[in-house]
Amino acid sequence: MSVVTAAITAEDTFTDWIKAKRPSDINDANTFFLNISIAGTWVGTVTLQRRFSATDTPRDVETFTSNAEEALYDHEEFSEYRIGIASGNYTSGTCNVRLGA
């Protein structure tokens, strides 16, 4: 399993990029998953971003304003994701984010 994490205490802070993974228990060759975990005592907006290559511009996929546990499914084999707090979206506290594939 691949995992990226960050303990965010400032704006413009993200995890490293991670690729979604094909799960062994799903019989669909075009389904990839990523687990999303957001925890801590914090105020702000967390953004999940996706890109299709290392030179691609990141695109916002989803935002969160509270702790969350989610699973994401994707049909793009080479998609990469990161999660964090963009510039201007941090207020206070420590936000612990994790992406696992």
**CATH code for the domain in which residue 59 is found:** 2.60.120.430
**pLDDT per residue of the chain (101 residues) written in tens, 0 to 9:** 799 999 999 999 999 999 887 666 556 556 788 999 999 999 999 999 999 989 999 999 999 999 999 999 888 778 899 999 999 999 999 999 999 98
Model pLDDT, residue 57: 95
Q: How many domains does the chain have?
A: 1
| Cβ(12)–Cβ(89) below 8 Å | no
Model pLDDT, residue 77: 77
The b-or-e profile of 6-30 (16+ CB within 10 A means b, else e) is: bebeeeebbbebbbbeeeeeeeeee
**Alpha-carbon radius of gyration of the chain:** 13
Can you give the residue range of the structural domain that contains 22?
3-100
| Cβ(94)–Cβ(6) below 8 Å | no
